Structure 1
Amino acid sequence: MGHGAQGGRRQSRRGRRARPGGVLRPDAGALRTPARPVARRRHRHPVSVDGPVAASGVTVRRVREHEWSRLRDLRLEALGDPVAHLAFVETLDQALARPDDFWRERTGSAATSDDVVQVVAVDEHDRLAGTVTGLLTRPGEPDYRGRRTPDLRAAVVAVYVRPSHRGRGVLEQLLRAVEAWLADQGVRRVHLHVHEQNERARRAYLRAGYTAVPGLVELAGVPHRELVRELG
């Protein structure tokens, strides 16, 4: 299942990292996001996104830096999916042309940054079954749409679940893990955008507890529906 729009740019103590995910054309990421300020590392222990094996048969956890090639392959698979590709502005040809260093930097940021998180679902054979990215935008910074916000905002982007694991609760597990991480950063509401033609993705998000916002939002010249979820 492709939803969400899986983009890059975060600077940590290790240097500038590329931000994962493209814009959520259906979550998080791509629309080009402007250069971002230095990523903030916290001197406390944030909530873990690792979870036990659930009824779906997968374990959900944060990505690890050495997994860049596996995540690249998952991204390429999503871009080649007949429906999931709607979730991304990037094309398969564009992704195939990217050098290995791009994928290494993107994965490094997703694994360590305090402003972006990517989680994966791993099955019993250690295969990646799906992924979701969460993007955090702090007051005064541009979000993944390039708009500056006066408050703390978060978006779910770059959502993809492999066909073999759809309809088994994997998407909801991934979303809950990202939401828990975002809530630990102080986020109270999560936004996402779904391609107007991706009705399957919209229904899946509604089942996962998201609420549709009336009207349409144009992203990259394409109409999208906005959905939100309150985190409490």
Structure 2
Amino acid sequence: MNHVIRAVRADEWARVKELRLVALQDPAASIAYLDTYETASRQPDSFWQERAAGAVAGRGVQQFVAEAPDGSWSGSVGLLIEPAGISEFFGTVIERSQGHLIGVFVRPAQRGGGLIDGLVEAALDWAWSLEEPRLERVRLHVHESNGRAGAVYRRLGFEPTGVLVPFAPDPSAKELEMAVGRPAAR
């Protein structure tokens, strides 16, 4: 892997936008994201500027990219901090501070070479480095029919928690919660 995995900078909002729009055109996008290409492509530049700035604040969310030697971006992952006591999207209260892996994407031509490993590792390293809030676990949600993604997450150490939640665009479908706990040495 000749990529550099690094955090996004606020002035890279146009690149954040471009990669997100590519991700939303992926064949798995309808079950991988709670957003659509049509909705995202209509967002003004100010939306993308705020999104990039928010992803570099370093407290509530952080976005990482895989940058190829030619400077192009091959993939991205975000990590959202969910402090204890907040009410999450599904209405339950977060009992212990945790991270939430979001927006995972690797361009199709780059899949299978370990790039996702580096992206997730960077997100987890950042999560475990936080002193306040100290995160006890990082979770994610994967659509019940997205077996490829579920297998990758299992390989990376995420385990099913037994929690199933309705998939927002289609409540008859379910998403599986998977999580990885803080390493003992951290």
State the TM-score, normalizing by the size of structure 1.
0.72
| Distance in 2, Cα, partners of 1:188 & 1:160 | 24
Query: Unmatched 5+ residue regions in structure 1?
Result: 1-55
**Which runs of 5 or more structure 2 residues have no equivalent in the other structure?**
none
Give, in whole Å, the separation in 2 of the partners of 1:141 and 1:199.
30
RMSD: 1.4
Residue pair 1:136, 1:154 contacting (<8 A) in 2 also = yes
Q: List aligned pairs for 1:33-182, cutoff 5 A.
A: 56-182=1-127
Partner of 1:202: 150
Aligned to 2:175: 224
For the residue of structure 2 that corresponds to 1:107, the secondary structure is helix
**How far apart are the structure 2 equivalents of 1:130 and 1:86?**
18
AA matched with 1:115: G
**Structure 1 residue 146: Cα displacement:** 4.8
**Post-superposition shift, 1:144?**
4.5
* Between 89-98 and 76-85, the greater mean CA deviation after superposition: 76-85
Bigger share in strand = 2
Deviation per CA, 1:104-124, whole angstroms, max 9, x where unpaired? 001001012311110000011
How far 1:96 sits from its partner (Å)?
Answer: 0.9
Check conservation: 2:84, 2:94, Cα contact below 8 A: yes
> In 2 relative to 1, CA 215–181 (structure 1 residues): closer, same or farther, beyond 3 Å?
closer
Amino acid across the alignment from 1:177: A
The AA in structure 2 aligned to 1:192 is L
Contact 1:193 1:227 in 2 (8 A): yes
Q: d(CA) in 2 for partners of 1:137 and 1:216?
A: 18
User: CA 1:63/1:169 → structure 2, altered by over 3 Å: closer, same or farther?
Assistant: same
| CA gap 1:106/1:144 in 2 versus in 1, 3 angstroms | farther
Q: Secondary structure at the match of 1:111?
A: coil
Change (3 A) 1:117 1:230: same
Q: What is the rounded CA distance, in whole Å, between the counterparts of 1:177 and 1:70 in structure 2?
A: 19
Alpha-carbon shift at residue 217 of structure 1 (Å)? 2.3
Name 1:183's counterpart in structure 2: 128
Deviations 1:107-152 (A, max 9, x none): 0010123111100000111110100000111122233445331321
Contact 2:96–2:136, Cα closer than 8 Å, also in 1: no
CA contact (8 A) 2:61 2:81 kept: yes
